[in-house]
Amino acid sequence: MSLEGLSDEALLALVARGEEEALRWLFRRYAGAFLGLARRMGLDANAQEDVVQEAFVRVWKNARQFDPRRASARAWLLAVGHHTAVDFVRRLEARPKPLEPQGEEAEEAFDLPGDGLDEEGHLDRIRLQGALRHLDPEEQEVIQILYYQGHSHQEAARLLGIPLGTLKTRVRRALLRLKEVLREP
């Protein structure tokens, strides 16, 4: 029996019964989305792959918890992917890393050759860190909390003690400024 045409809900039901082929089909459908979530949280390629693997282990183990009356399969799967990526980022936070470049990296931060992308087409971390210095302290803080620490918008607003709308305005302003700075030669 081919599982290709089955809905995500049907595939999750089969996964809950231990059908590995159903998990393979879900992987084909959602691995890219999980990679994208991890990439947006600033994880490198290896960490992104770890997030995808960990997320699908969670899907395999917790498929029985899916309740189609509470959410669509897509929403449930994306929530698993998101929570896995956030947990991964939080575990990394236990091992602090400097946000500012050190030594030679600091000297190169503003005069990198090319368009600031590495061989995989990702923004160069050093160039991004340099661009972050162009933001107001409040904007730096929201970017740090959302994208480096992996908090949700609601969590970030609560941590900063500001209304959610204010947080979203700061994020929007910060991202627009980063876009401008990174486009500059």
> Of 58, 93, 128, which closes a domain?
93
Please tell me the predicted confidence (pLDDT) of residue 74.
93
Please tell me the predicted confidence (pLDDT) of residue 127.
73
Please tell me the predicted confidence (pLDDT) of residue 79.
92
Total of domains in the chain: 2
Q: Structure tokens of 80?
A: 């698993």
Please tell me the predicted confidence (pLDDT) of residue 125.
65
Can you spell out the DSSP letters for 98-124?
Answer: -SS--THHHHHSS--STTSB-TTSPBP
Is residue 1, in this structure, part of any structural domain at all? no
- pLDDT under 50: residue ranges of the chain: 96-121
User: Domain limits at 127?
Assistant: 104-183
Q: Distance between CA 60 and CA 48 in Å, rounded?
A: 19
Please tell me the predicted confidence (pLDDT) of residue 22.
94
Is residue 20, in this structure, part of any structural domain at all? yes
Same domain (yes/no): 110, 84: no
Residue 185, SS3 per DSSP: coil
CA dihedral 144, 84, 162, 40 (to 10 degrees): 50
DSSP 8-state code for residue 137: H
Burial 46-73 (b: 16+ CB within 10 A, else e): ebbebbbebbbebbeeebeebeeeeeeb
Please tell me the predicted confidence (pLDDT) of residue 73.
92
Please tell me the predicted confidence (pLDDT) of residue 100.
47
Is residue 2, in this structure, part of any structural domain at all? no
CATH number for the domain spanning 29: value is 1.10.1740.10
Residue 164, SS3 per DSSP: helix
Please tell me the predicted confidence (pLDDT) of residue 95.
56
> Of 46, 65, 93, which closes a domain?
93
Is residue 146, in this structure, part of any structural domain at all? yes
Same domain (yes/no): 79, 18: yes
Count the Cβ atoms, other than its own, within 10 Å of residue 32.
11
